[in-house]
Structure 1
Amino acid sequence: MESFPRNSRVAVVTGAGKKRVGQVVARALAERGYALALHYRESRRDAEAFRDECAAAGITTELFQADLADTSSVDRMFDQILDRFGRIDVLVTAAAIWIPTPLESLKADDVIRHFQVNAMGTFWCCYRAGLAMINQREGGVIITIGDWAVKRPYLNYAAYFLSKGCIPTLTRTLAVELAHRNPAVRVNCILPGPVMMPENLAEHERIEAIKSTLLKREGRPEHVAAAVLFLIDNDYVTGISLPVEGGRLLS
């Protein structure tokens, strides 16, 4: 494996295996000159295809597998990332699970699994990256991905919204904790709206989601990526949750 220049910038993106928001964010960071440490859980083939695409464009890219529900797996991943790159400048937590389940069918294990991945998994990734960043003179930037609809949850996603509701709180908490140790470390959250709706979503639900925005159009993952870049660039913003949802909260 070729050596990596220790003064180069490194971005870690979780949930970058599948062709969803994480990959779009990673591509935007690569265009800014970041080397990429990309996390995946099961989508190895898709992750390898994306890595090869990045490598063909001259972007230093490494893949790291982990189950975010298992803190020891997360620890192993971050140990590997730091061993390979020596630093972390940006972390974007795009990994999440969302499994629609009617309330009457919900099991305790369903709720626990969502919390393990979406809440604890996100926190432990931020924790490990934050501990690395506070020891860097330049600090670093952590950007969590929440969900606008924690303020207006919809049916059949009780476990998901319970777990995602933790993200703004852990963002504010870590903004305080990490800045206390190194004021150059910032932590912010993005709350996406309908920027990449599930492929299996019923057409009437997709239309309703679009109609419920003020802008009357579907967003794109690139809108989230643009918000990530804004939160990296503006070094006087920390501890916020930024909605990227076309005005859906107001409509």
Structure 2
Amino acid sequence: MTTLQENYHTDNPVALITGSGAPRVGRAIAQHLASLNCHIALHANTSVDEANAAAKDIESDYGVKTIVTTGSLEDENVPDRLVAETVQAFGRIDILVNSAAIWSPTSFEEITASEIQRYFNINTLASFLCARAAGVQMAKQTCGGSIVNIGDWATVRPYLEHAAYFPSKGSIEVMTRSLAVELAQYNESIRVNCIQPGPVMLADDVSDSKAKTIASSTLVGRVGKAENVAHAVQFLCENDFVNGICLPVDGGRSIFAPDGMQVGMNTG
């Protein structure tokens, strides 16, 4: 299999990861790509101080150049600027990971139109605009580039109190396929794929009993790690014959019916 360096014809491919300021999945993706000798553009909105500290750690730990880009993805002008700042700093962009997202439980009766609109603006529209901006630059590069969108496994089995959130994440799957088709017309070496994470990096306020319940809802019987998602990003960026797919990284959660809901097979 080809390496990132072979795919992008450089010793130090450049990766922009949105939503990577806070110590969540986006940060883990950035650190993993840095360990593979990628120069890194972190992005933060409210976690700017954390992003600046992370940038120093990444440069120290992995010896790659790291910058911090900032801005609210509710502003439709920010995606173009993030990509422009990345290209200005490094002269190129080889990898874009659309990791930034918002989610919060809301009871069905209390959902407002403005809340749904905000989910689409940040989770869907911003990912599209970042991908378009990156794709325009990648089209100029002989080696093209890779765009990885972050979706959600639960779009196929939504859970309660997130009816405002799931439409925005469900759109990521269709958007990924459409972007793959569109951008290949500009440069056939541009690939667009999607990862659908399952339960990884549970919130600090999740109780032990709840964590056990979540772990038992997967086929592997445990909660995943942010590194599982980061490794999937590496695979999608390295494998140059994978394009337009949505890859669940969920421990089998999307196909498993826990709590005794499986239907037994009659062997009589």
TM interval, shorter chain, is over 0.9
Task: Using the TM superposition, give the Cα deviation of residue 79 of structure 1 relative to its aligned residue in structure 2, in angstroms.
Answer: 1.9
Task: Using the TM superposition, give the Cα deviation of residue 156 of structure 1 relative to its aligned residue in structure 2, in angstroms.
Answer: 0.6
Q: Which runs of 5+ in 1 are unaligned?
A: 1-5
Structure-2-length-normalised TM-score: 0.89
The residue number in structure 2 matching 1:216 is 221
Task: Using the TM superposition, give the Cα deviation of residue 69 of structure 1 relative to its aligned residue in structure 2, in angstroms.
Answer: 1.4
The residue number in structure 2 matching 1:225 is 230
Answer whether contact 1:30 1:36 (CA < 8 A) is retained: yes
Structure-1-length-normalised TM-score: 0.95
**1:185 alignment partner AA:** I
Q: What are the Cα deviations for residues 45-91 of structure 1, in whole angstroms up to 9, with x where unaligned?
A: 11111011012232200000021111112222222222222211001
Matches of 2:223 and 2:104, distance apart in 1: 22
The residue number in structure 1 matching 2:4 is none
Answer whether contact 1:11 1:34 (CA < 8 A) is retained: yes
2:14 aligned with 1:10, yes or no?
yes
Alignment of 1:87-236 (within 5 A): 87-236=92-241
Answer whether contact 1:12 1:36 (CA < 8 A) is retained: yes
Alignment of 1:46-125 (within 5 A): 46-57=50-61, 58-125=63-130
| Aligned pair partner of 1:24 in 28, 31, 53 | 28
Matches of 1:104 and 1:207, distance apart in 2: 30
Matches of 2:232 and 2:83, distance apart in 1: 25
SS across alignment from 2:149: strand
Larger displacement relative to structure 2 (67-76 or 177-186): 67-76
Task: Using the TM superposition, give the Cα deviation of residue 112 of structure 1 relative to its aligned residue in structure 2, in angstroms.
Answer: 0.8
Answer whether contact 1:67 1:74 (CA < 8 A) is retained: no
Alignment RMSD (CA, Å): 1.3
Q: What are the Cα deviations for residues 198-229 of structure 1, in whole angstroms up to 9, with x where unaligned?
A: 22234443222211111111100010011011
2:267 aligned with 1:242, yes or no?
no
Matches of 2:175 and 2:17, distance apart in 1: 18
Q: How many residues align?
A: 246
Higher radius of gyration, 1 or 2: 2
Q: Which runs of 5+ in 2 are unaligned?
A: 1-8, 257-268
SS across alignment from 2:214: helix
**1:12 alignment partner AA:** L
